[in-house]
Chain A
Amino acid sequence: SQQGEEDPQALSIQEGENATMNCSYKTSINNLQWYRQNSGRGLVHLILIRSNEREKHSGRLRVTLDTSKKSSSLLITASRAADTASYFCATDTFKTGANNLFFGTGTRLTVIP
């Protein structure tokens, strides 16, 4: 399986603190994406980083990618209660050209008000 692993499985922080979650994967990739899932809902795309990029920012999100270590991290700064959700990394290996994504097992983030 090309599925990634995420660390930690669960994270609980106070509102205003930063949250960092990590993703490791197994094969070479075209890009890596992060998705958020609120309880009982579908996944929502957050940010995409290409294999030739090392860092990317979007609002309070910062993503890093280290292809030599096959790992990525997602940093959420100044967290809010509304950030409470599960976060998944997904890798696109581009083997088929069909945008088939391989998802990690997720990090459950709880932000305490």
Chain B
Amino acid sequence: DAGITQSPRHKVTETGTPVTLRCHQTENHRYMYWYRQDPGHGLRLIHYSYGVKDTDKGEVSDGYSVSRSKTEDFLLTLESATSSQTSVYFCAIRGQGSSYNEQFFGPGTRLTVL
């Protein structure tokens, strides 16, 4: 999984609780992304980062916030989780050099909001 780790890998939480997912990379990539994957929707971009403290919204950003205080970590926060945020969350990094237009994905976090 291209040196990308996600934590936790599985989480069950209750509606209204805050949740933070962590993405960690070890290769100093500038761009990092958070996606969610739901049946019938493929992957949809939530937020992305193009550097430390530089982030922007994606296609489905409502209800989510992100932070990137250092290059290697990109955090996704659900301030008050809802059942509609039950999903599998993937972090990705943008490749470098000849792979600059490709993305490399982490193993995913399965989140269930009861």
Which bucket holds chain B's interface residue count? 20 to 34
Report the Cα distance A104→B41, complex, angstroms.
Answer: 7
**A42 in contact with B90 (CB, 8 Å):** yes
What 1/0 mask marks residues of chain A from 25 to 38 whose CB sits below 8 Å from any chain B CB? 00000010100000
Cβ contact within 8 Å between B101 and A99: yes
* Smallest beta-carbon distance A97→chain B, Å: 9
Number of interface residues of A (CB under 8 A): 25
B105 to A43, Cβ gap below 8 A? yes
Partner of A42, one of B31, B41, B107: B107
> Distance (Å) between the CB of B56 and the closest chain A CB?
7
Instruction: Give the CA-CA distance A19 to B35 in the complex, in Å.
Output: 28
Q: Is the CB of A48 within 8 A of B48?
A: no
Q: Is the CB of A41 within 8 A of B108?
A: yes
Tell me the complex Cα distance, A90–B33, Å.
14
Q: Across the interface, do B102 and A98 meet the contact criterion of CB distance under 8 Å?
A: no
User: A105 an interface residue at 8 Å Cβ cutoff?
Assistant: yes
Are A41 and B56 in touch, CB under 8 angstroms? no
* Contact indicator A42/B48 (Cβ below 8 Å): no
Residue of A43, A44, A92 near B43 (CB, 8 A) is A43
Q: Which residue of B lies closest to A99 (CB)?
A: B94
Q: Which residues on B are within 8 Å of A, measured CB to CB?
A: 1, 4, 31, 33, 35, 40-45, 48, 50, 56, 58-59, 90, 92, 94-95, 99-108
- Beyond the given pairs A41-B1, A48-B102, 7 more chain A to chain B contacts, judged by CB atoms under 8 angstroms and listed by A's residue number, are A1-B59, A31-B101, A41-B108, A42-B4, A43-B43, A88-B43, A98-B31
